Amino acid sequence: MKRNIAVGVVWLMLFPGVCAAQHEIDAKPHMTIEEAMRTLHSDQPQAQMDAIDTLVSLGAKDKAAEIASLLNSTNSVVKMDAVSALGTLGATTYAPEIAKLLKDPERLEGGEGFASLLNGISVGSVAAQALGQLGAKQYSADIALLLTDKSVFARSNSAIALGKLHAREYAKQIAVLLEDQEAGGVITSAAFALGQLGAKEYAKNIADLLEDPDESVRCAAVEALGQMEAKEYASALAKRISDPTSCIPLSQWPKTDKKISLGAMVEQIFRAWGVDSSGGRVSQPAPVSDPASSQ
What is the residue extent of each domain of the chain?
A: 5-18+90-281
For residues 115 and 285, give the distance between their C-alpha atoms in angstroms, rounded to a whole number.
Answer: 55
Query: Is pLDDT at 2 greater than 50 in this prediction?
Result: no
Asked if 214 contacts 8 with a C-beta cutoff of 8 angstroms, the reply is yes
Give percent of the chain above pLDDT 90: 62
The architecture that CATH gives domain 5-18+90-281 is Alpha Horseshoe (1.25)
In the prediction, which pLDDT does 258 show?
Answer: 85
Query: Is pLDDT at 248 greater than 60 in this prediction?
Result: yes
82-91, 94-103, 233-242, 278-287: least confident range: 278-287
Per-residue pLDDT tens digits for 197-244: 999 999 999 999 999 988 889 999 999 999 999 999 999 999 999 988
In the prediction, which pLDDT does 246 show?
Answer: 87
By CB atoms closer than 10 A (0-12, 13-18, 19+), residue 1 is exposed
What average pLDDT score do residues 140-159 get? 94
pLDDT band at 247 (very low <50, low <70, confident <90, very high): confident
Query: Is pLDDT at 5 greater than 80 in this prediction?
Result: no
For residues 221 and 211, give the distance between their C-alpha atoms in angstroms, rounded to a whole number.
Answer: 9
Task: Please state, rounded to an integer, the average pLDDT across all residues of the chain.
Answer: 84
Residue 218: closest CA among 61, 11, 51, 17: 11
E strand or H helix that includes residue 95: helix 95-99
Query: Any idea what the Cα angle at residue 231 is, between residues 160 and 173, rounded to 5°?
Result: 30
Asked if 9 contacts 184 with a C-beta cutoff of 8 angstroms, the reply is yes
Max distance between CA atoms of the chain, in angstroms, equals 87
Asked if 238 contacts 277 with a C-beta cutoff of 8 angstroms, the reply is yes
pLDDT band at 249 (very low <50, low <70, confident <90, very high): confident
pLDDT band at 112 (very low <50, low <70, confident <90, very high): low
pLDDT band at 281 (very low <50, low <70, confident <90, very high): low
Other CB atoms within a 10 A radius of the CB of residue 222 amount to 30
Q: b vs e for 29-53, b when ≥16 Cβ sit within 10 Å of the residue's Cβ? A: bbbebeebbebbeeeebebbbbbbb
For residues 223 and 228, give the distance between their C-alpha atoms in angstroms, rounded to a whole number.
Answer: 9
pTM: 0.84
Give percent of the chain above pLDDT 70: 80
pLDDT band at 175 (very low <50, low <70, confident <90, very high): very high
In the prediction, which pLDDT does 106 show?
Answer: 83
Query: Is pLDDT at 109 greater than 50 in this prediction?
Result: yes
| Preceding omega of 45 cis (within 30 degrees of 0) | no
In the prediction, which pLDDT does 257 show?
Answer: 75
For residues 193 and 98, give the distance between their C-alpha atoms in angstroms, rounded to a whole number.
Answer: 21
